[in-house]
Structure 1
Amino acid sequence: MKKAATESDWGKEEERPFVLRLYVAGSSPNSVRAITNLKAICEKYLEGNYELEIIDVHQQVQKAGDRQLIALPMLLKESPGMERRLIGDMSDTKKVLKGLGIKETGV
């Protein structure tokens, strides 16, 4: 299994959990794929070192209202490090890892 080096491994951040919010639109195909893909990435590369909240903008309007959502699904990385936003179904693992600030390393 591959391990990931986080920003903390590079000396940029102290080790703390990733705080992620995934904004989706109901049970649309893209939303379902984004949830499945992101959960798999988190379990493989973050090994339980994350907090993931999935927010359905149709059911949780108040949580989505204060965010500038330009497209759905959208992943918001709140910490560690600077805030990042990723849009899409999270199927491109390398792009998601880069967006989260995770460097994939060998076994």
Structure 2
Amino acid sequence: MKPLPPGPLNLAQIQEYVAKMELERGFANSTTVDQALKLAEETGEVCKAVRKCASLRMDPNSTVGELGAELADVLIYVAAIANREGLDLSQALRDKELVNEKRTWC
């Protein structure tokens, strides 16, 4: 598989890359449920990395990844779920922000 191109990527490029990556690595048959559960696990790993960055107490036997790597894992699973459900993340973000703009924030 070709490496990602240098520079910023848009959401469509990320979704396309994840689709190709999953095919190449044998993950394309994973269900949305499988991917959602993995996303939840990765979200927990992000929280552990944030704790580490904030110098909060942690289990000394706990394995903690770097925050950037854990966030990248979350992004991969979000893109994978969107791909399985035929969602354009760029459009989903636009649609959600139209709703959020009308909300009252405290």
Q: TM-score, normalised by structure 2?
A: 0.28
Looking at secondary structure, tell me which structure has more strand per residue: 1
Output the TM-score relative to the length of structure 1. Answer: 0.27
